[in-house]
Amino acid sequence: MKYLNKVKSQTPESVELEFVLAGVGNRTQALIIDYLIWSSTLFLLLVIWAILFSQITWLQSDTARPWLMAIQILILFGVYIGYFIVFETLWRGQTPGKKYVKIRVVRDDGRNVGIQQSILRSLLRPIDDILFVGLLLILFTPQEKRLGDWVAGTISIQEGQAVAEREISLSLEASDLAAKLIETGRIAALTPDEFATIRKYLYRYPALSPSAKMQVSDRLAQQLISKIELPDRLPTRDSHLIIEAVFLAYQQQFRE
């Protein structure tokens, strides 16, 4: 999407990388998920604590009480701050929420965050949350950095969707037709951008409404036929099949 903010950064090896920034929407959504998990963990701990305390009489003795209080506070603080530190360090810049919405924290130069950056981000999180300081900074700074990001030298980016992860199911007839299309030798007239559009079409075809399926495939097939000057008498009039075949043919044209 052309409207999302991007940032260029250089790795220590002077390789230039371009990232799409995570954006306020994704970060808010990730935060909602994390806070839900995190607060229910805290709630569960408190309930377990209360049950233990009421059931085991030994715990209620006066000598044990200050120790128990100390341990309780330590555990709560550990979960409060530790949740983000542990996940961001172990999962290379991700928490369950971030993983779900496919965003990641990286250092300014694109490297993975370490424990140092995670601690700084976590310690400044309460300040960012109070009075929505972090939200305003993310909204109004070009690199979308909250205070924790400034201090730790990190940015939040979107993870590229791996193309290979998504399956496209193609019909069997498509490969036969594709072989014929390659023989015509005109597939090369297609630009990579146009191929990307075909790929988008195939990904999204199942979700199209029934009437749109016909309209879009007819339109696209017409455009393809004129673009790569396909022979008038194709063995099929099935637009979707033609598009599938063009997709396969483009993928295979330069393979031995």
Partner 1 sequence: MAKISSDPVGTLSIGNVVTTGTILYRSNLKRYLQVSLRATAWVVAIFASAVGLLFIGGVLFGITQSWLATIPLGLVWFGLALYLSAKCSTDRAVICRLAYQELIDAPETVAVATRQLLPRTWAFLRLSLLLGIYMFLIAMAGYILLILAIGLIVGVLIYVVKLSTDNGVVVFIVGLLAIGLALLFIALVIRFYASWFVAELPLAVESTRSASFSIRRSRQLSNNVIRKLVLIITVAFLITLPLSTIGAIPSWIGQFMSASTTESTKVAGGFVTIAGFFVSIAIELLVMPFWQTIKAIVYFDLRNRQEGNDLVI
Q: Which residue has the tokens 């009480």?
A: 65
Nearer to partner 1, 13 or 256 (CB): 13
Q: Which residues neighbour 197 within 8 Å (Cβ) at sequence distance 6 or greater?
A: 220
**How many CB atoms neighbour CB 139 within 10 A?**
10
Q: What angle do CA 17, 18, 20 make, to 5 degrees?
A: 145
Give the whole-angstrom CA distance, residue 103 versus residue 113: 13
Q: With binding defined as CB under 8 A, does residue 24 bind partner 1? A: yes
Based on the shown chain and the rule CB under 8 A, indicate whether residue 253 belongs to the binding site for partner 1.
no
Please, where are the H alpha helices in 205-238?
Answer: 210-227
Tell me how far, at minimum, the Cβ of 138 lies from partner 1, in Å. 9
**Strands 6-10 vs 16-20: parallel, antiparallel or unpaired:** antiparallel
Q: Is residue 256 classed as helix, strand or coil in its secondary structure?
A: coil
Q: Could you give the maximum distance between any two Cα atoms of the chain, in Å? A: 94
The reply on whether position 188 binds partner 1 by CB under 8 A is no
Q: What is the residue whose two structure tokens read 């961001």?
A: 88
Q: Does 126 bind partner 1 (CB under 8 A)?
A: no
**Minimum CB distance to partner 1, residue 172 (Å):** 24
- Told to check if 194 binds partner 1 by CB under 8 A, we report yes
Judged by CB under 8 A, the stretch of 2-10, 111-119, 146-154, 174-182 that binds partner 1 is: 2-10
Task: For residue 193, report the phi and psi dihedrals to the nearest 5 degrees.
Answer: -60, -40
- Which residue in the set 38, 89, 94, 101 belongs to the binding site for partner 1 (CB under 8 A)? 101
CA 247 to CA 187: how far, in whole Å?
10
Strand partners, 221: none
Out of 99, 208, 234, 238, name the contact with partner 1 by CB under 8 A: 208
Q: Using an 8 Å Cβ cutoff, are 133 and 140 in contact?
A: no
Sole binder of partner 1 in the list 36, 41, 69, 132 (CB under 8 A): 132
Residue 237, token pair as written in the block: 């009039």
Nearer to partner 1, 116 or 215 (CB): 215
209 in contact with partner 1 (CB under 8 A): yes
Q: Which stretch binds partner 1 (CB under 8 A): 83-91, 120-128, 222-230, 247-255?
A: 222-230
Report the residue from 92, 111, 186, 199 that binds partner 1 according to the rule CB under 8 A: 199
CB of 50 to partner 1, least distance (A): 10
Stretch of 112-120, 146-154, 213-221, 232-240 lying at the interface with partner 1 (CB under 8 A): 213-221
136 binds partner 1 (CB under 8 A): yes
User: Please, which residues have CB within 8 angstroms of residue 20's CB and are 6 or more apart in sequence?
Assistant: 4, 5, 6, 157, 158
Which spans of this chain sit near partner 1 (rule: CB under 8 A)?
1, 3-6, 15-20, 22-30, 32, 101-103, 131-132, 135-136, 139, 158, 160-161, 163, 166, 194, 196-201, 203-204, 207-209, 212, 215-216, 219-220, 223-224, 227
